[in-house]
Structure 1
Amino acid sequence: MEILDVQTIPNRFDEALQLFWGYWGQENNKLFYEQCMLNANGPDGIPRFYVASVEGEFVGTYALLRNDINSRHDLYPWFACLYVKEEHRGKGIASEMLRHAEGVAKSLGFKMLYLDSNLEGFYEKLGWVENGITHDPFGNSAKIYEKSLEVVK
């Protein structure tokens, strides 16, 4: 498996966009995803968009964002848009993408990484710690998870 920064594969950008938007988007917001992905890798290195590739097929996505459309703008970067195609689940791809994101965030100089989710048990097994609740503009809430990227001595 390879994990590829969408910015490094311009010849397959439309395919990556389709995977992100196809799973995370809505009928009328493809342009939102396209603009976000085209304008990635800002001065602090984020946002960033990645695809997981198995034998040339894009099978998963993740992003590092300044905010995951939630009420905690004081925290960042956020690990977001984690998706693995159903037929590729259970093979450790999501865990590998999460570890990849931790490495990227650390290499960019961040000391913490955050995500929001109501999934039970998955992130905790990978060393993430629950730390509060966040709210989105649609009235939903989710648990905040955080992961220290600093080496514990």
Structure 2
Amino acid sequence: MEIRDVQDIPERFNDALELFWGYWGQEKNKPFYEQCMKYANGPDGIPRFFVAIIEGQLVGTYALLRNDINSRHDLYPWFACLYVKDEHRGKGIAANLLRHGEVVAQSLGFKTLYLESNLDGFYEKLGWIENGITYDPFGNSSKIYEKVLEEIK
């Protein structure tokens, strides 16, 4: 498996867009995802969008974002959009994508990485610590997880 920044594989941009939007998007917000991904890699290195590729097939995604559309704008970067196609689950791909995101964020000079989720047990097994609650614009809440990146070897 290889993990590639979408900006580095322009010939696969539309495939990556379809994968991100197809799982995370809604009927009318494809242009939102397209612009987010097209204009990625700002002055601080984020946002960034990555895909996991196995034998030429895009099988998973993640992004590093300034904000994951939540109420905690004081925290960043956010690890977001973690997705692995159903037929590739249970193979450690999600954990590899998560570790890749940690390394990329650390290489960009960030000391802590955040994510939001209500999934129990998965992130804790990988060294993430639950640290609070965040809210989305629709009134839903999620747990905040953080990972201190200085601990990554």
Please report how far the alpha carbon of residue 151 of structure 1 lies from its aligned counterpart in structure 2 after TM superposition.
3.4
Partner of 1:37: 37
Residue 145 of structure 2 is aligned to residue 145 of structure 1? yes
**Within 2, Cα distance between the matches of 1:44 and 1:137?**
26
Please report how far the alpha carbon of residue 96 of structure 1 lies from its aligned counterpart in structure 2 after TM superposition.
0.2
Alignment of 1:73-92 (within 5 A): 73-92=73-92
3-state DSSP class of the match of 2:150?
A: coil
3-state DSSP class of the match of 2:151?
A: coil
Unaligned runs of 5+ in 2: none
Residue 14 of structure 2 is aligned to residue 7 of structure 1? no
Calculate the TM-score normalised by the size of structure 1.
0.98
Partner of 1:99: 99
Partner of 1:25: 25
User: 4+ residue runs of structure 1 moved beyond 6 angstroms?
Assistant: none
Please report how far the alpha carbon of residue 31 of structure 1 lies from its aligned counterpart in structure 2 after TM superposition.
0.3
**Within 2, Cα distance between the matches of 1:86 and 1:6?**
21
3-state DSSP class of the match of 2:4?
A: strand
Letter in 1 for 2:11: N
**Within 1, Cα distance between the matches of 2:101 and 2:91?**
18
Please report how far the alpha carbon of residue 90 of structure 1 lies from its aligned counterpart in structure 2 after TM superposition.
0.2
Please report how far the alpha carbon of residue 22 of structure 1 lies from its aligned counterpart in structure 2 after TM superposition.
0.3
**Within 1, Cα distance between the matches of 2:16 and 2:99?**
20
Partner of 1:60: 60
Unaligned runs of 5+ in 1: none
Calculate the TM-score normalised by the size of structure 2.
0.98
Please report how far the alpha carbon of residue 128 of structure 1 lies from its aligned counterpart in structure 2 after TM superposition.
0.1
Once the two structures are superposed, residues 89-131 of structure 1 have per-residue CA deviations (whole angstroms, 9 ceiling, x without a partner) of 0000000000000000000000000000000000000000000
Letter in 2 for 1:6: V
